Structure 1
């Protein structure tokens, strides 16, 4: 993470959230005594002490806008991170993207084996919903049901999994900008949307405020993906923490291949500023979320 592209206050806030999420994940994913501990080790390997924790950070920040107890928000933050990490494990498998490097170290299936990696992803997914359904997440069962339903929709066949399905076919499809946008809204954007709206669900916020978060997440997710496409072209594998230039090698259409680098950069910057404007109803309380929007288009990893 380039320090020149991130404000000091966001650096500190991300660090604090990352430490809190790591500690809670460590508690929620305890080691087991029997031979099943191998899959627990793979779950922990893939979810502890890694990544920028943007999705959990957005959960925590959106929850703070509605004065939600941190003890509740951190559980939802960990649930979304479990879903995200499960998706990365599966994305990296030989049957999908066949990657050897993730977050600067061997992917789960390289460190363990393919079968263990597959099961670790499955177990992280089910554990996420178990966490959301637990009364410790929120005393109101309707809120817990809403969280489960929203995350299931965001991560399933009409969300992240559906987007990955389209992505696996992308090299055979004649996708235009609208098609790439839809793909990325499903694959990446839906989890960002859940993360941003989770605070409103926990705080029982509705109407204009929830719509503002939904619109923010829409533009944030697209800006994030355009920046990802730029990094795939210009990034350094060691700094990015994963293999680069894979989309071009696979013949996939991306925002960069369709728009060109300069136009892609300007589009990402425009989306980031538009995302910030959606947060106007929250005033200064949403400043860290504005910092996130500007950071995602400047990051180097």
Structure 2
């Protein structure tokens, strides 16, 4: 099988923890050929198929000089057996345009995972609203007055931008309402941008759990990202400590309810974020934590992913 990974620059990979690297390593271990490109390498000329300047790579096993490459000419995406879209957020205009080029490649016969249209249809924070039975009280609005009413009702709240990543731009406001007005102005840009507000879930002290769902099936362990010190955010990028643990009964209920629905829509890999018993995000762009869970539990998450990819290509 010949697999193309559309990802960030290879030079930026931290291979000791990078999930895309772990996918590549497992694919190569099975004898599959691997190549990589960035979204900026995609080219679509009228009347021609979508192509990309790709790097055909071989993993070396050296932690410092971790791959060898052969430059390849422009290659049609439809000529790969699978394309794995692993570009990290933010989901900005360029990411949006890349999904359109990948969708055109699909029309030409390419197999893309996760499917480009489904990536566009599932913004990672807004996607939870479809599954309200698993979500803590949540408000999506531009209105400062609506936010104030929500705060008056719930007392202790979290405010966040819809396009944030890695815990960026998250604020907690307690019952005293200290700085609420300033935080609203900062996030909603005086009513120009939509934000999300949620009732604070105190179980964050036990971790913001990343539950991986592959091919509609949950990985049996989550990675609880536990806030450190006075920090309210558990994100690893914000200094959280990652601790793998078995899924709770509620974790499994959420994953088994959402997994088949999302898989049927073209999402081979999903990362559900759960605090306590509450779903907080549905990550579809570039879910991570493969290596942390594998190293701490022995459960081979990359193998489960490549199994699911191979199975999907037979469908």
TM-score bracket, shorter-length normalisation? 0.3 to 0.5
Greater helix fraction, Structure 1 or Structure 2: 1
User: Which of structures 1 and 2 has the bigger CA Rg?
Assistant: 2
Greater strand fraction, Structure 1 or Structure 2: 2
Q: TM-score, normalised by structure 1?
A: 0.32
The structure whose RCO (Cα within 8 Å, separation 6+) is larger is 1
